[in-house]
Amino acid sequence: MKKIIFTIFIVSIFTACSVSSLAFNSQKKLLLQHNSNSYLLNTKVQEESFLSYQYIDIQRVSLKNEKNIKLFYENITMDINFEFRYSSLQTLKIIFDVNRTNLIYKKSNLLLTQFMLKDGSYINLMAETSGTQDMAYAYGFSNEEFKKIAKELGVKDVAFKDVVLLRKYISKWNQTKLILEPLVRPIGRGIY
């Protein structure tokens, strides 16, 4: 009997685990990998740039899909001695000056959310967080595209707000947020 309970426990642990990755790969394609499935999110690179601050580096990529909708991808890498001060969602809310959050999906290290910005408009954002020192996210999805991704992840009917389609980056990375907020701190000081 103990063997059966232990086996069920081990199987449930491994089936409940999910691994996600949101990455801009070497073929210049934005790819979401979730469990054993892969989803190509956008195909045509418009622009690639980098921001670098004292403790943080940000890769920014502007993409466009076949429907001419822009999508923005940002990959954040932290200095080895620093980490994000807040949870991933809280950090993103600060970076985007968010008024309200409509969390659509959160499992393991992947989240899908709608953010209401200070001007009252909404954006769709997907983020992959693999720890306290790095994060990747993409935003600018149309509702049609976002619903399709959510459905693939097993999300049932969710009320989506109408989103604004973007023409430029709207994340607000700057030295002031990093130092005065502060969004980063030396490792070992606890997450709020």
Read off the pLDDT of residues 38-78 as tens digits, 9 standing for 90 and up.
Answer: 766 666 888 999 999 988 999 999 988 888 889 999 999 99
Decide if 116 is inside a domain: yes
What confidence score (pLDDT) does residue 18 get? 53
For 95, the domain range is 19-186
Residue 6 resides in a domain: no
Spatial separation of the C-alpha atoms in residues 144 and 137, rounded to whole Å = 18
CA atoms within 13 A on the CB side of 11: 6
Q: If pLDDT is split at 50, 70 and 90, which confidence band does 169 have?
A: very high
The per-residue pLDDT for 27 is 67
Residue 136 lies in a domain: yes
On whether residue 3 sits in a domain, the answer given is no
The tally of domains found in the chain comes to 1
First to last CA, the chain: 42
What's the mean pLDDT when you consider all of the chain? Answer: 81
Q: Mean pLDDT throughout 99-104?
A: 92
* CB-facing half-sphere around the CA of 91: CA atoms within 13 A: 25
**Residue 148 maps to a domain:** yes
Top pLDDT among 150 and 40 is at 150
pTM across the whole model? 0.83
Q: Give the pLDDT of residue 72.
A: 94
Q: Mean per-residue pLDDT for 71-98?
A: 91
The H-assigned helical ranges of 100-189 are: 143-152, 175-180
SS3 2: helix
> What tokens appear for 40 in the block?
């190509």
| Beta-ladder partners of 49 | 60
Is residue 25 situated within a structural domain?
A: yes
